[in-house]
Structure 1
Amino acid sequence: MMAKNKAEETKLHERVVGTGELAAIIGKSDRWVRQLTGEKVLTQVERGKYILGDAIQAYIEHASGGKEDDKKPRLIDYKTEHEKAKAEKAALELEQMKGNLHEAADVERLLSDLILTTKSRLLGVPSRIATECENEPADVVEGVVRREIETVLAALAKYTPDKIGGEIDHGSAEDG
């Protein structure tokens, strides 16, 4: 049998590489590799020598912001959350530009005005029908009251969302 040389027996991930070779593999400078070694990110097996597989895994872990299993948020987790928040904000801004989304203050103002206008119209019903119903039987009074309330409700039903951000229709003077 032919004897295999030592280089053929060593698996790639177990191969020992120098600082310059490791720097070339990870796309950084020799100085950067030495700095990571000083920060205990990379571990040398001897001066200027690293086990390729261990060094690459340690560098990837460092580049992604730390170990995933230590229950602490990693830099990459913060970056992902930040990008996700930016995307959500952009989607909301787009919907607002399209008119599909409105500021809470605008909606609150519109609904408040709508409620106050409806309240005012309903409270005006008795004074509007008082003279009309004088000395009338109960069924006539009931019909007049029903008609006036239906008029107020019809005005309320005319509400459309396109009034948000624009002028609000307060009804005509005769509507109350």
Structure 2
Amino acid sequence: MKSIVLTLLFVVTTTLSFSQEVSYGVRAGFNISNLDFTPDATFSNQHRNGFAFGGFVDYGITENFSTYLEIQYSAEGAKADDLRADYLQMPIMARFAIGEKFTLGVGPMVSLKTWKDQDAFSTFTFSGVGGVEYMINDELFIDARVHYGLSNILDEDISGLEAQNTTFQFGFGIKI
């Protein structure tokens, strides 16, 4: 057991020591989200406009590759009050620099439900996230992302109906 812990500690220390750069910052965004139902919903299902905000850390592994971890609050779901889904989310992305200004990222995201009074939604959901970032200067950036739901966000008690959340997010941020 000691050797496993020491090996993991060595790997983490070595990886972080080779890091080119570690940057922190804050980010805010505008969401356009909707629920995709299976089978198709027999009721009106309109998209919801919402917002997202949070903080991030970006670990530079090489000059052109980094890992990105973010904690964000995000208002998602559909327009109807009983179909709104607000989450605390953690996207983890592998990011690849394309030139000096653009970065592409892709990875998984786990979301935790942030309200108690709507029991129809699952507590945890999983999504895939991908996006592009443009650096305006050394600190300011804009980005665009898409989150595609991989799990049913509805609680299993709802008979025969599944829903995945799809969100387009347009954001801006500052590296501190």
Per the TM superposition, whether the score is higher than 0.5 is no
More helix by share: 1
More strand by share: 2
| TMscore range, shorter length | under 0.3
Higher relative CO (CA 8 A, sep ≥ 6), structure 1 or 2?
2
